Structure 1
Amino acid sequence: MDCIFCKIAAGEIPAEKVYEDDHVLAFHDINPQAPLHVVIIPRRHIATINDIGEADTDLMGRLLQAAKAIAAREGVAGDGYRLVVNVNRGGGQVVFHIHMHLMAKRPFGWPAG
């Protein structure tokens, strides 16, 4: 498989890691859109949110728990942060491996994008 996030998870491509456990890896985005911009991925390859099944419920919850832990560790939980999941090209997804962006330390408007 030629997935950049799978290669990062396997240690084949270096990344500035901020969180990791047996199921989830998080690292700083190489093209940050905020002063704090972390990408959170499951270690197991799933292309899009449309591809998750009932068996992935625990894994998806682990991504949210990782985001919560990272926000607390980075000191942004109280002030606030944005979590973004893009789905397919029309939704802005560029890397087809489920991932969540945690962004903080700048104001965010609504509606997004």
Structure 2
Amino acid sequence: MTEDFYCDEVLSGKTTVIKVKETENVMAYFHTKPFYPVHIVVIPKMHISSLITLEVSENDLLMELLTVIKEVAKEVNSKYGACRVITNLGNYQDSKHLHWHVVYGTPLKS
């Protein structure tokens, strides 16, 4: 896997995705290799490596990101009755680009 799948593949257009929501600075789309029956990824369009590397100067972007996450989670929750909102840090974070997962259901078998 590339160090930053989101910049290298998704945002560059090399990997086609099905968008759920998009703003000037944030994109939400269906995961390209879902781990759950409903699996949506929400990313900032600018490179930020992790939740813990966010700068105070990026608070407006964080609020825009959280607004999109909230809207997507609300839609999934409304349709299915539940959802999870997940982000990973450190060694749990495969791609070093801040991203959140909005998921529903039990993990799919690989």
- For Structure 1 versus Structure 2, the TM-score category normalised by the shorter chain is 0.7 to 0.9
Task: State the superposition RMSD in angstroms.
Answer: 2.1
Q: Which residue, out of 64, 67, 80, partners 1:65?
A: 67
Bigger relative CO (Cα 8 Å, ≥ 6 apart)? 2
Q: C-alpha separation between the residues in 2 aligned to 1:55 and 1:68?
A: 22
Bigger helix fraction: 2
Residue 17 of structure 2 is matched in structure 1 by 15
Q: CA deviation at 1:50?
A: 2.2
CA contact (8 A) 2:42 2:101 kept: yes
The CA deviation at 1:31 is: 2.4
Q: Percent of counterpart pairs with the same letter?
A: 26
Q: TM-score, normalised by structure 1?
A: 0.79
Aligned pair partner of 2:29 in 16, 27, 44: 27
Preserved CA contact (<8 Å) 1:46 1:52: yes
Shift of 1:101: 0.5
Q: Which runs of 5+ in 1 are unaligned?
A: 109-113
Point out the more displaced range, 76-85 or 15-24.
76-85
Q: Which runs of 4+ in 1 moved over 3 A?
A: none
Equivalent residue pairs, number:
103
Q: Quick one: distance in 1 between partners of 2:75 and 2:10? A: 22
